[in-house]
Chains A and B, each alone.
Chain A
Amino acid sequence: MKMKITALTLLFSFAVFFLPARPAHAQGLPFGGLATFSIPCTCSATLAVWFTPLYLGGPIVITGPIVYSPYSTIPYAYYMTGVPGVWHLGSYLPGVQACWMYAVAGCFPFPTIGLMTKVGTSRLF
């Protein structure tokens, strides 16, 4: 029995030792806002969703786009991401460049507030 406990302790010690320290924002910062329109990111096949107003947790209310990625953003009910007139609540990674637009001579990075990691929405009406 004592051996088992020692072995299990060792096992978990190894696992914890290799756990990297992750900053809180790696999981995403909170956001909430009303979607007003969406712009397809033509090169990256993602979607820049424009919010007015947009609440990022501070005292100032802003307006601007956050990117929804069909490849990495986790959607929650009512699954109406990007639909105008729908309220959104979720988390995002600030400063991540995930929207590339095509313009005559190649693509350019369309700067946004960040990349949604997860998002839930209200119903349309």
Chain B
Amino acid sequence: MKFFSLPVLLLVAIPVSLSFLPNNIGREISAAPGMRVNRVMLFRAYPYEVRPGGSVTLEGSGFSRSLNKVYFDGSNPITATSTNGTTMAVVVPNSLPEGQYQLTVSNTLGSSENPDIKIPIKVTSAPQPGPTIKNASLSGETVTLLGEGFTVQNTVMTTLGNSSATLYSDGTTLSFRLSELSQYDQVKKQLQGNQYLFTLWIFVQNEHGTNKNPYKLDIVL
């Protein structure tokens, strides 16, 4: 009967109960859904242009809750913590000279460094905001975007692929044809003449960065 004393019951019951909690709660390092759990990865830094001493948000997976080191071109390490394992705010060192830097994150899982994937930021005393899309419409095969921060050389990235050439804008209006997108022909061919509802997500990228959240445009293909 001693086996079932209250303290013993508590010792057994609480760990059993806690094992039902979602995987990420209480863990030192959390991975984003669908990502490899034993690896730190860095996907993007936002905004792209930042002044020395300014704040940048990093998005990735496998960030530590207690200690990460963020490197600028492999040096000038600063420490940072993440509350959810997938985002992390860092302050750019005041001493960093102006220029473009590749960011990497390291912690107990290793380093996010990948020769094929560069995550850059631009340190400048006069940062410009990246593009923002406020409205999008489709007329025939032409998509027209209204927004801010477009420049004379923009690239469009969408669910139907990227634009094959750079796109000119007067600063607030940007147009492109669906047929200019790299995967449009492939998708169109598989529809076999039928019409389907489709959600086109749109990013615009230029020398000042990329819009943080994609614009959603529901269309019929």
Of B69-77, B90-98, B138-146, B190-198, the segment with at least 4 beta carbons within 8 Å of chain A is: B190-198
B35, A103: Cβ atoms closer than 8 Å: no
**What residues of chain A lie closer than 8 Å to B209, measured between beta carbons?**
105
CA distance A21 to B203 in the complex (A): 36
**Chain A residues whose C-beta falls within 8 Å of the C-beta of B68 in the assembled complex:** none
Question: Contacts A18-B17, A111-B201 hold; do A100 and B43 have CB atoms under 8 A apart?
Answer: yes
CB-CB nearest in chain B for A11 = B13
User: What residues of chain A lie closer than 8 Å to B187, measured between beta carbons?
Assistant: 36, 50, 52, 63
* Chain B: CB-nearest residue to A61: B196
Residues of A within 8 Å of B41, CB to CB, are 43-44
Listed residue (A20, A39, A103, A105) with the most chain B CB atoms within 10 angstroms of its CB: A105
Contacts A67-B34, A71-B36 hold; do A107 and B159 have CB atoms under 8 A apart?
Answer: no
- Give the residues from 43 to 92 in chain A that come closer than 8 angstroms, CB to CB, to chain B: 43-46, 50, 52-53, 60-65, 67, 69, 71-73
Contact mask for chain B residues 16-39; partner A; CB cutoff 8 A; 1 contact, 0 none: 111011100000000111111100
Whether, in the assembled complex, B183 has its beta carbon less than 8 Å from a beta carbon of chain A, the answer is yes
Contacts A72-B33, A105-B205 known; A36 to B190 CB distance under 8 Å?
yes
Q: Chain A: interface residue count, which band?
A: 35 or more
Contact A65 B43 (CB under 8 A): no
Which A residues lie within 8 Å of B22 (CB)? Answer: 20
Q: How many residues of B are in contact with the other chain, CB < 8 A?
A: 54
B177 within 8 A of partner (CB): no
**How far apart sit A17 and B21, CA to CA, in the bound complex (Å)?**
12
Cα of A96 to Cα of B1 in the assembled complex, Å: 49
25 contacts between A and B (CB under 8 A): A3-B1, A7-B9, A11-B12, A17-B17, A18-B20, A19-B17, A43-B117, A44-B35, A44-B61, A45-B36, A52-B196, A53-B196, A63-B187, A63-B196, A63-B221, A64-B198, A71-B34, A71-B37, A100-B43, A102-B116, A103-B157, A105-B210, A106-B117, A107-B44, A110-B159
By a beta-carbon cutoff of 8 Å, the part of chain A in contact with chain B is 3-4, 7, 10-11, 14-15, 17-20, 36-37, 39, 42-46, 50, 52-53, 60-65, 67, 69, 71-73, 93, 96-98, 100-112, 115
